Amino acid sequence: METPPITPQSTPAPHRMAEAVARVARRINLTMEEGRDSLDLSDCSLVSFPDGVFKMMRSVTHTIHTISLANNQIKALSSKFFRTFTHLRELDLQGNVLKTLPEAIGDMEHLVSINLSRNQLTAFPDHLTDVSSLQHISLEENHITELPLEKLSLMPSLETLDVRCNPLKADSASVPHQFTLLT
C-alpha cells in the first residue's frame, strides 16, 4: 500500500511551526541583507511578535519604516515593539485577534498609517489619538460601538478614519470633523 502524500492539513504541528519559523527568519534576513526599509511578516502564523526579531534587527530598527504583521493570530503587541521600531510610518495589523494596543503607541512620532481591520477591538484604541502624525486609520470589521470624535477631531494630520462594518451607535458620527469618516 502506498503512503498518502503529506498535505498541509495532515502535516504534523511541529513541522508547520518549523516552517513558520524558517519563513520569518528568511524574511528578516532578506530585509537586512537587501537594506530594505520594510519588514513583511504577514501570513506567518504568529501569535506574538517574536522576541528574537528584536535581537536580530537591533542594528537596523531605525531604518524600518513599514511593518506588516497582517493575517496572523497576534493577540497583543508589547510596548517594546513600539519603543523599538520608533521610525515606523506604516503598520499593517489587519487580520489578527488584537483586543487592545499598548499605551506606547501614542509615542509613535512618524506613524502615518495604521491598519487594524479584522481584529477583535471592542473600543477605539484611545492612544491612537496621541499620534499627531497619523493620517489614515483603518478599523474595518471590528466590534467598536463608539468613537472618540472630539479627540479625533483634534488630530492635526488625520485624513481618513475607516470604521465600516462596526456596530457603531447612531450618534457616533455626529460631532463635526475635518477628516473623511467611512462608516
pTM: 0.89
Q: What is the pLDDT of residue 11?
A: 46
Q: What is the pLDDT of residue 8?
A: 47
**CA–CA distance from 171 to each of 19, 54, 153, 168 (Å)?**
48, 42, 15, 8
Q: What is the pLDDT of residue 109?
A: 97
Q: What is the mean pLDDT of each run of 10 residues along the chain (183 residues)?
A: 48 72 91 95 94 91 97 96 97 98 97 98 97 98 95 95 92 71 86
Q: What is the pLDDT of residue 62?
A: 95
Neighbours of 136 (CB within 10 A): 18
